[in-house]
Amino acid sequence: MRVLTALKLVSLLGAALCLSVPPSLLHGQEATSDSAAVAEVIQRFHAALASADSATVLALLADDVVVLESGGLESRSEYRAHHLPADIRFTQAVKSKRGLLRVVVSGDVAWAVSTSEVSGVWRDRAIDSAGAELMVLTREVNGWRIRAIHWSSRPKER
């Protein structure tokens, strides 16, 4: 009984100490909130692609975004004119299973990495591939925006 009481006392003291820590020292909570906000922007980006909402896709991209895809490098205007329409059609044509998203926040910069598996038919060709995605985001006045995207894929190993 005394051990249980002592454990409760330690637990209560620990909770009280945590509550007395100044907000400026609770960096972990801020980082968690930032990580969630970054993840939400990325989720909105992918949902916008899937729903053919190019206006939202473009709104989430910074003006100076760089998109690396298929061995090429595109600016925001080049992506809008070239790969965005194809990315929307591709996303709608195939089934994609996204892996876990790992987000790292360092001040006003964040990067997120994830993997995916894609299967289906695209342009009369069977697709069964594994992909990787890296996004770099920055905090701006109106929230987080995507500054760089790097996509790569390969045939899935059997």
**Domain boundaries, given as residue ranges, for the chain:** 27-155
**pLDDT value for 46:** 95
- pLDDT confidence of 117, banded at 50, 70, 90? very high
pLDDT over 80 (residue 23): no
Q: Please report, for residues 44, 88, 145, the alpha-carbon distance to residue 85 in angstroms, rounded to integers and kept in the order given.
A: 17, 5, 20
- Domain 27-155 is of which CATH architecture? Roll (3.10)
pLDDT computed for residue 7 by the predictor: 33
So what's the pLDDT on residue 6? 34
Question: Per residue in 56-71, pLDDT tens?
Answer: 999 999 999 999 988 8
Give CB contacts under 8 A, 24+ apart, made by 119-122: 119/94, 119/95, 120/93, 120/94, 120/95, 121/93, 121/94, 122/90, 122/93, 122/94
Of the two residues 156 and 32, the one the predictor is more confident about is: 156
Do residues 41 and 137 lie in contact, with contact meaning Cβ atoms separated by under 8 Å? yes
- 30 falls in which pLDDT band (50, 70, 90)? low
Among 154, 143, 29, 38, residue whose Cα is nearest residue 101:
38
The pTM score is 0.77
pLDDT at 31: 54
Is residue 39 over pLDDT 60?
yes
